[in-house]
Amino acid sequence: MIYLNRNKLIYLISLLAVLVICGLVFSIYTLQQHQQINQQIAMLNQGEMIDAEKLNMQSAEVRIAYAHLQRKLNLFDEAVETYSGTERLADKPQLVHIHYNLGNLYLTQAIDLAENLSVDRAVAMADVAKDFYRSALKNQPSFWEAKYNLEAAQRLSRDLPLGDVTISEESQDASTELWSAMPGFPIGLP
């Protein structure tokens, strides 16, 4: 049997107490950080622009919420910049959603440009959107929304006329095709 003398027992108990206190302090600090992040995200979700200096921009979650607010307020360039700066802070699931959201930003811009008959810029924006959707799908192949939006971007760039813009009956019916532009065998069609 091993017997501990009194000094060794006091030393061991003191060491354990210090470790427990350090763990408790770290847990409390981490909890406060998470609460602060949640409060900032809740403020951003209210829809009013907040100065970035008042936010914890070292948190990927806060930056994503801030970029989402910028997108809602139609601040395209600022949202792209915020999302792009968040990539270095994000983990893999967050990176998938960042690329998906960047694709959505560029696809929205491409659709707006196509409606204004700025075909060359719309095709360029659709191509950038497709790259972001592919990047999201590379990291999460089962991400259905990214697949759907990738196909929408492909259809947009395929259906836009090249060169001189002339609107005809034929170009309006181009998107009503039964088969998808995505490679592979379509599932669910007769």
- Over the stretch 127-137, which tens digit does the pLDDT of each residue have? 999 999 999 99
- In whole numbers, what is the pLDDT of the chain averaged over residues? 81
Residue 167 structure tokens: 């609107």
Report residue 149 CA to chain centroid gap.
Answer: 14
Whole-prediction pTM value? Answer: 0.69
Q: What pLDDT does residue 60 have? A: 86
Radius of gyration (C-alpha) of the chain in whole angstroms? 26
Least confident segment among 13-17, 87-91, 164-168: 164-168
Residue 105 structure tokens: 């930003």
Distances (CA, A) of 148 to 51, 55, 129, 179: 35, 34, 12, 14
In the predicted structure, residue 166 carries a pLDDT above the cut 80 = no
